[in-house]
Amino acid sequence: MKKLNRTYVMGIFMVLFSAWIAFESAHIPELLVSNEPGPRLFPFISAIGIAVFAILSMVFDGKKDENKEYLDKAGYTRLAIIIAECLLFAFLMNFIGFWITSMAGLFLFIFTLKGEKKFNVIFCIIFCMLLGSICYFGFTKGFNIPLPKGTLWSSLGIKMI
């Protein structure tokens, strides 16, 4: 019997995971409002994207049979830092709010992922502010989806946007 390599195993897992996402998103109640996509659309698009990229990965990367490690010691260290940053992001999002945390979190992620490469700090700050603001106002004003505003500001009596 031929042994499956990691690419095929991960691809099959991701296809099954995307099928589960599509199945669960079909159970989300549809609140029909004219000219709005509804709450089922984004999870379903995510499921399709995950399935497509998993299949493409199996087709194009599946034949390679390399025995080298995915990450070296520095890569595992960076992975642990990113997981810690994600946990910090989740905690601070409820405490400080999504808008501020998304900008700071993006900067931290970019700084961590850059490794030894040099990058323009001013451009990165502007990019993080723009992307964080687009995400925040896109969801809160465009899709009318409330995001965490932060318990810190409400306890201090400061009204966030």
127 versus 63: which is more confidently predicted?
A: 127
| pTM (2 d.p.) | 0.63
CA distance 21 to 48: 9
Q: Tally Cβ neighbours within 10 Å of residue 150.
A: 21
What does the pLDDT read at residue 68?
A: 66
Among residues of the chain, what percentage have pLDDT more than 70? 88
CA distance 94 to 89: 9
Residue type, 31: L
Query: What is the 3-state secondary structure of 40-65?
Result: CHHHHHHHHHHHHHHHHHHHHHCCCC
